[in-house]
Amino acid sequence: MAAELRVSRSDPRRSQPLATAEWSARQGWPVHPLAPGRKTPVGNCDACRAPGHDRGACDCLRAGRWCHGFHAATLDSERIRQWWGARPDLGVGVATGPAGLVVIDIDAHARELPGRERLLPGVGIADTVDLTGLANGFHTLGVLAALRGATSPADDETTLRVRTPSGGLHVWYRNGGGRRWQCSAGSGSGRALAWQVDVRAHGGYIVAPGTVTPAGVYRPLGAVRMPAPLPGWLARELERTGHLPAAAAPGPRPVPPRARQAVIAAGGGRGASDRVLAGVLAEVADCGLVPEGAAFSEKLNRAAYTAGGLVAAGHVTEAQALRALEDAAGRARPGQERRCRAIIRSGLSAGLARPLALRGRG
């Protein structure tokens, strides 16, 4: 029953993580461990941290280990008891996509206001509008709701709301339509619903209610413990702001033209270096056919690592490799440029330290 989740006000640590994980799983929400005292997943094992590691072929997930964060989330009661029974210091995360959830994560951080065009993306705010007093996600989301004649999710008492230790609020909704809503960061420059308002859906996770960190407890508000259906007006706003994946192409994507041009310009022709780089870039580009679960990060990391090795061995220049990688990543995951650049930088840097001799690493 929903009422089984209880958080002690006098001693929140009495809300045991195992009980929280089991309660969440009973709701049909796959769970995974969070690092002790933190809101981030437990780190991978050494093998899974290696550059170029392929999560899709990883034995850790099949063996029931918690590597790869929310990708390891489970409803299996035995595994849940194994994880949190042995490590009661672990927090609890819920994989929002598989759980069929859309969680609106409202922040209340002290930040300088961005440009007006980023407060409510796609909604023009004239220079004559006085922004005095507008300071956080509660305000921007409230303005958006008022413009649509709706109740702000922050004030929606019909659904599960969880107060965060930092003063923010997680508003949980059920994705009744089965649409694959995507995550976003409200303070980023890409896809966003409103400034300081994040969205947790496919490709992400949320901290489970009752989880305790040194900063405090993720405490449910009121008596409601179950998510209500995603409001129609909010679904329309998510669609308007790009929270649905682009339609998949009907057939396999070709190797990006810039990838071919990069290796040809480097003198590779149709030689071994061309084939090696084109092969890993094609794997990245093909991820565009699958919005989630294609091991995109691992494939992009591997491609960047391989490209770094080719650069170090003199088969292609770093600028050419970088252009080819960014082109392939942009085709597969449009709107995620910042995330892709970080993956490319990491993999390329690791590959530069190990020249690729095309018959094995030097």
Nearest to 235 by CA among 315, 153, 304, 127: 153
319's tokens: 């600028």
| The pLDDT of residue 10 | 42
If you average pLDDT over residues 267-291, what whole number do you get? 70
Q: What is the DSSP string of 17-58?
A: HHHHHHHHHHTT--EEEE-TTSSSBPPPPHHHHSTT--GGG-
Is 0.75 topped by the overall pTM? no
Mean pLDDT of 189-194: 84
Q: Per-residue confidence at 262, pLDDT binned at 50, 70, 90? A: very low
Question: Of the segments 4-8, 53-57, 188-192, 218-222, which one has the largest average pLDDT value?
Answer: 218-222
Whole-angstrom Cα distance, residue 151 to residue 233?
Answer: 10
pLDDT at 105 over 90: yes
Whether 293 shows a pLDDT value over 80: the answer reads no
Per-residue pLDDT band at 331 (split at 50, 70, 90): confident
Condensed to tens digits (0 to 9), the pLDDT of residues 65-91 reads: 888 889 999 999 999 999 999 899 999
Give per-residue pLDDT as tens, 46-59. 888 888 888 878 88
**For the chain, what is the mean pLDDT?**
83
pLDDT for the residue numbered 247: 59
pLDDT score for 189: 62
Residue 137 pLDDT exceeds 80? yes
pLDDT for res 200: 95
Helix ranges, the chain (H) = 17-26, 46-49, 59-62, 77-86, 96-99, 116-119, 137-147, 232-240, 257-265, 272-286, 296-312, 318-332, 337-352
Q: Shortest CA distance to 196 belongs to which of 117, 315, 105, 277?
A: 105
Residue 153 pLDDT greater than 80, yes or no: yes
